[in-house]
Structure 1
Amino acid sequence: MKPFLHRLTRAAVLLAAPLLAAPLLALSAHAGELTLFTDSNFEGQPLTLRGSAPDLDPLGFNDRASSVVVRSGTWQLCEHSEYRGRCMTVERGEYRSLSGFNDVISSVREVGGGGRDDRGGRDDRGGRWDRDDDRGYGHRREAIILFSKSRFNGARLELHNNEVRTLDRYDFNDVAGSVIVNEGRWELCEHADFGGRCIVLEPGRYEFLDDMNNRISSLRRVR
């Protein structure tokens, strides 16, 4: 009986081995990858990441990224270490320039669910950012998102504060090419301090801004 039991046990182990390995293979298959470049148009020194980098300084890449290629996954790029301050979310694709985030990125991490994995808190301008931490706290959606290109492409600027008198402070002046309004009614104007021509947007997705494209300099919530 002993030889038979030995053969039976060995057969069971061999059958179980592929099943045990399957989750590991699945995890590795879903690992994301992106490459940062010191210059726009994917030129200059590259840095390829396949995991989170809470501080790019030890890698010699703090405040140096000017373009990005995302080969897989969804990634969050933040202006301070430990994913603090303003953040932008990039998905698979090529980003030849980082309007509003050029040479300011200090930490990078792969996130799920479209990038809603920020630690929350306030940046140095008092803006409130999403959080979804390991204690199970929910996140609050950004009220309005500006994109540097049409169809929600390019760099993005997420805002919770009810007014921005000049987008210069975010390096996003005359940059916006599309907008998502998640809550409230917003007035977007072509000059600082809500001057010049303005448009009012209700909650919705605006793939194009027509004759206001690349002309927005200030915005405020009007309801």
Structure 2
Amino acid sequence: MKHTALKTLAFAAALLSQIAAAHAGEITLFSRDNFRGEEVTIRDGARDLRDAGFNDRTSSLIVHSGVWEVCEHKDFGGYCAVFERGQHNDLRRFNNSISSLRQIERGGRGNGGGFRDRDGDGRDDRAERREEWRERRDDRGPGGQPGFNRPDPIELFEHARFEGRRVSFQGEMRSLRAADFNDRASSMVIYEGQWQLCEHDNFGGQCVVYGPGRYDNLGPMNDKPSSLRRIR
């Protein structure tokens, strides 16, 4: 009986190890374009590539698995962007400018696929939202200035299903305490861009990237965001 229990525990441990390996990310950085030159492979992230002797040296990279955020300064500061699985030879502004990187989670795109018509008017709610965005974007204010009524690109809501108090932002917020919204967001609307939400100030802790859409529940990030920024 004891032997059977030990075998069961060993099997469970091996299974958990396989699951963890399947979710572990891996990225290789190259010092020259076309995946040439010196290289370094990162699996657990790096807060400062000086420790690996690779600060500001990356000219191409390959994401073997996972979704990775790369940043121009150490501790994930400065300008950051997200790279998904594949070969990336053209790093644009990141050529020789990467100082830190980490694996992140990719948020879903709203409430999933399929037709949604909560207001019962026979039209997909997402199409209506896009049309509303275009109309507000193209509105003219006093003196004919374009975009006078243009909404901020991201809105956070205090409760699920876009209820409760809400706040909107145009750019990064290193601490949502300044808006009295720390650890309070439960739903969100993104009108444009890719946005990173993090559970701690200054983009620390767990971070998730979301694209345009309506998120009526933030799932694992519910009531957790403490900082946010646009990364694309």
The alignment's TM-score, normalised by the length of structure 2, stands at 0.48
> What is aligned with 2:78?
85
Secondary structure of residue in 2 paired with 1:105:
coil
Unaligned runs of 5+ in 2: 109-169, 176-181, 197-210, 214-232
Work out the CA distance in 2 between the residues paired with 1:18 and 1:159: 40
Match of 2:172 in 1: 128
1:62 aligned residue: 55
Matching of residue 43 in structure 1 with residue 36 in structure 2: yes
Structure 1 stretches of 4+ moved >3 Å: 135-145
C-alpha deviation, 1:29, in angstroms: 2.3
* Unaligned stretches of 5+ residues in structure 1: 1-7, 116-125, 146-157, 161-180, 184-223
Q: CA deviation at 1:73?
A: 0.9
Provide the rounded CA distance (Å) in 1 between the counterparts of 2:68 and 2:96. 17
Distance 1:142 1:93 in 2: 26
* 1:122-201 correspondence runs (5 A): 127-128=171-172, 144-145=192-193, 182=212
Q: 1:17 to 1:108 in 2, by over 3 A?
A: same
Structure that is richer in helix per residue: 2
User: Between Structure 1 and Structure 2, whose CA radius of gyration is higher?
Assistant: 1
After superposition, the C-alpha distances for 1:16-38 in whole angstroms (9 at most, x for unaligned) are 32023311221012211111111
Structure 1 pair 34–18 and aligned structure 2 pair: CA distance change class (3 A): same
SS class of match (2:92): coil
Is structure 2 residue 103 aligned with structure 1 residue 110? yes
Q: Amino acid of the residue matched to residue 86 of structure 1? A: Y
Query: Please, what TM-score do these two structures have when normalized by structure 1?
Result: 0.50
Is 1:53 aligned with 2:46?
yes
Deviation by residue 1:137-192 (Cα, 9 ceiling, x = unmatched) = 759787644xxxxxxxxxxxx689xxxxxxxxxxxxxxxxxxxx949xxxxxxxxx
Deviations 1:119-152 (A, max 9, x none): xxxxxxx951689xxx96759787644xxxxxxx
Q: What is aligned with 2:147? A: none
What residue is the counterpart of 1:31 in the other structure?
24
Cα RMSD of the aligned pairs, angstroms, is: 3.4
Aligned to 1:123: none
What secondary structure sits across from 1:61 in the alignment? coil
Give 1:114 deviation, angstroms: 5.5
